[in-house]
Structure 1
Amino acid sequence: MKHQNLIILFLFLLWNTYQLNAQNKVAISIDDAPNTRIFQSDHYQSHFLNAIDSLELPVTVFINERLIYNRDSVNRNFALLNRWVSSKNTIVGNHTFSHPRYSAVGFEKFREDVLKGESIIRELTKNYKKKLEHFRFPYNDMGADSLQHVQMDSLLSSLNYRITPFTIESSDWMFNWVYEYYLRQKQYEKAKHIGELYVSKTIAYFHFYDSLSVEKYNRKVKQIYLCHDNSINRDYFIALVSELKALEYEFISLDEALEDEIYAQKNNYYRKWGISWLYRWMDSQKERVRWMKMEPDMKEIQNLYNNLNQKNKTY
């Protein structure tokens, strides 16, 4: 009997070791596409999409159809949208038409924006024999309270949408703002520093959320990374992917990531802030705050962002 118990203990420890050292897996999701502003300034080239296609990475892209009309050359912008949808590497999701904050505009206006946001991509996905079944809230603002959450959950379910979570994000929007500021000022060395800082801090966030998942679930979960169609990813996405590959990350589709049983958990967070789902599944705000205090240090980019914003306002 004692011998059998030792064998069971050995197998248990072996299994845990396997889980902790299992290959990391991540699905890449991209919000706020197509970026027609960069498309126009880059002489109607999407270098970010070119990079994705060259790497042959599966990604999910969340579309704001309003962006097609934000710049001149609507026909070219439509062609860009068509290319995002038609790429063999993309799954397509609805990100509303105009990117409103749900908690601010309320249910009826947000409902209209959800429906308006699929008028083109619904037909395009059909043309390319793809499904349109993923939805992500702008700002990951799922509502101001539990009532708004329930209302929108019901609507999206009736439209056959699944709310798309994320587990990792590194505030690429803030890095991008500072990065573009330095590019406009022709301070290219400073811009380069911000691009490299973005990559290193993002890797730090991957390590952090992997450690969180190991402590919470005794294994590495299939992560979902949220980033945006912006300048810093145009220029540094390949470098980020290279770093992740060096850490033996496998890039998987969103659908494969969602097969992980963790995504079947109940959301316990009913505020408007767009936090990681690894926090949403926690039972208490006290536990969330404890983990948030251990996140990678972002003071450098936060201070730059705040100071440069303030500087802009004084002119």
Structure 2
Amino acid sequence: MWKIILVWLLLGIAVPVVAQKQLVITLDDLPLTRIYDPDLMRDMTDRLVQCLAENQVPAIGFVNENKLYEKSILLPERVSLLQKWLSAGLELGNHTFSHVDYNNMTTAAFIADIQKGEIISRPLAEAVNRPYRFFRHPYLHRGNTPEKVVALTTYLKNNGYIEAPVTIDNGEWIFAHAYHRRMQERDSVAMRKIATDYIRYMEAKTLYFEEMARKMFGRAIPQILLLHANALNADHMDALLQMFRRLTYTFVPFEVALKDAAYLSEDTFSGRQGISWLHRWAKTANQPALYFEGEPMVPRHILDWAGISEE
């Protein structure tokens, strides 16, 4: 094989290169979901951040600053959890103050919650010369009318925010809810089962969105994964990252992924759904329902363990 490549080089023929698959890891709802015990919050944050750092994952965490308070009192120990992310070289972003749903409020009220959501995180990031630039829509809701979409995107652009898209949308939050409930019951057998099924599900979901990207663009694109800061990922992030490595992914910063031309695709979707940007682009292109078939769903037993009727 090397002789063939050498001949190509001598003849001035381009050597074929296999494009490396790229993935951005994002985690929403910092500092943590459903965990309020100070020791547990510190332990889970330490393990999550350490795993990301050791695996050289340039992740970004999107913060809901209302979680830094208890009964309207700011808790320094929760602020310190965000500092752990920054100290590990990771980035913070805005996820609104209180994870509000843009579908159910005016643009003015939503913008006010965005502004309230940067009061602590932005100075923390700037104090250590870390950028503070990305905004993640709660529920992936960009606006349920064209007018609301335009109003929000205009505000974000005018105020230096970059919208944080998601291509690999998924039901990880349902697995996490089931895992949390079993954790409270100290059911280690069920927790292991949930974790195993979670990794398998996330692999299937990734392959589905890989195929959708190939259908749309004729090639692989940098994918952007949505996760949450929770007990499930604190316990099993390493297994998740190893799965992605097995699929030949490398982990890249957000700004690297967004340089891909795919992220310039037209998106005119407005509606109540919170969906993958791949789905948004496909809907904008008026792709038929058949185009979306085959998406893996959360298994019924996980929904039952989570106490959720449907995705």
TM over 0.5: yes
Aligned to 1:44: 42
- 1:284-303 matches, within 5 Å, as 287=287, 289-301=289-301, 303=303
Q: Cα RMSD over matched residues? A: 2.3
The residue number in structure 2 matching 1:30 is 27
- Residue 262 of structure 1: aligned partner: 262
Q: Is the 8 A contact 1:174 1:305 kept in 2?
A: no
Match for residue 242 of structure 2? 242
Structure 1 counterpart SS, 2:67: helix
Are 1:157 and 2:157 matched, yes or no? Answer: yes
CA drift at 1:260 = 0.7
Give the deviation of 1:26 after TM superposition. 0.4
Q: Which runs of 5+ in 1 are unaligned?
A: 1-13, 311-315
TM score, norm. by length of structure 2: 0.87
8 A contact 2:216–2:282 mirrored in 1: no
Change (3 A) 1:81 1:303: closer
Q: How far apart are 1:43 and its partner, in Å?
A: 6.3
Secondary structure at the aligned position of 1:144 is classed as: coil
Change (3 A) 1:59 1:303: closer
Rate the CA distance shift 1:157–1:246 in 2: closer, same or farther, 3 A.
same
Q: Which residue of 2 aligns with 1:83?
A: 84
The separation in 2 between residues aligned to 1:288 and 1:42, in whole angstroms, is 47
Alignment match, 1:230: 230
What are the Cα deviations for residues 1-26 of structure 1, in whole angstroms up to 9, with x where unaligned?
Answer: xxxxxxxxxxxxx99x85xx522110
Q: SS state of the match for residue 282, structure 2? A: coil
Q: Give the SS at the match of 2:165.
A: coil
Q: Distance in 1 between matches of 2:100 and 2:231?
A: 22
Counterpart of 2:78 in structure 1: which amino acid? Answer: N
Q: In structure 2, what residue type is equivalent to 1:76?
A: E
Deviations 1:221-263 (A, max 9, x none): 0000110001111111110101111221111111111111111
* Native 8 Å contact 1:27 1:254 kept in 2: yes
Q: Which runs of 5+ in 2 are unaligned?
A: 1-13
- 1:280 is aligned to 280
Distance in 1, Cα, partners of 2:308 & 2:103 = 25
**2: CA distance, partners of 1:117 / 1:284:** 31
- Contact 1:268–1:282 (Cα < 8 Å) also in 2: no
CA contact (8 A) 2:24 2:251 kept: yes
Aligned residue for 2:75? 74
Alpha-carbon displacement from aligned partner over 1:131-155 (angstroms, at most 9, x marks no partner) = 2111011111111111110111111
Contact 1:279 1:288 (C-alpha < 8 Å) held by counterparts: no
Secondary structure, counterpart of 1:42 in structure 2: helix
> TM-score scaled by structure 1?
0.86
After TM superposition, give the deviation of residue 108 of structure 1 in Å. 1.5
Aligned residue in 2 for 1:112: 112
> Percent identity of the aligned residues?
26
Contact 2:95–2:117 (8 Å) recurs in 1: yes
1:66 Cα shift?
Answer: 1.0
Alpha-carbon shift at residue 165 of structure 1 (Å): 0.2
Q: Could you say if the C-alpha distance between residues 70 and 239 of structure 1 is closer, same or farther in structure 2, counting changes exceeding 3 Å?
A: farther
Q: d(CA) in 2 for partners of 1:147 and 1:305?
A: 39
> Shift in Å at residue 41 of structure 1?
5.0
The one-letter amino acid of 2:62's match is F
More helix by share: 1
Distance in 1 between residues matched to 2:288 and 2:87, nearest whole Å: 39
For residues 74-153 of structure 1, the aligned pairs below 5 Å read: 74-88=75-89, 90-153=90-153
Q: Tell me the distance in 1 between the aligned counterparts of 2:67 and 2:288.
A: 35
Give the 3 Å change call, closer, same or farther, for CA 160–261 of structure 1 in structure 2: same
AA aligned to 1:192 is: R
Contact 2:178 2:303 in 1 (8 A): no
Task: Assess, with a 3 A threshold, how the Cα gap between structure 1 residues 38 and 248 changes in structure 2: closer, same or farther.
Answer: farther
The CA deviation at 1:38 is 5.4
Alignment check: 8 A CA contact 1:97 1:118 kept = yes
Residue 277 and residue 309 in structure 1: after superposition, are their counterparts in 2 closer, same or farther (change >3 A)? closer
Match of 1:271 in 2: 271
Where do residues 154-233 of structure 1 align in structure 2 (5 Å cutoff)?
154-233=154-233
After alignment, is 277-286 or 208-217 more displaced? 277-286
One-letter identity of the residue aligned with 1:27 = V
Whole-angstrom CA distance in 2 between matches of 1:186 and 1:99: 29
**1:283, CA displacement in angstroms?**
4.2
Q: Does the 8 Å contact 2:26/2:226 carry over to 1?
A: yes
Count residues in correspondence.
292
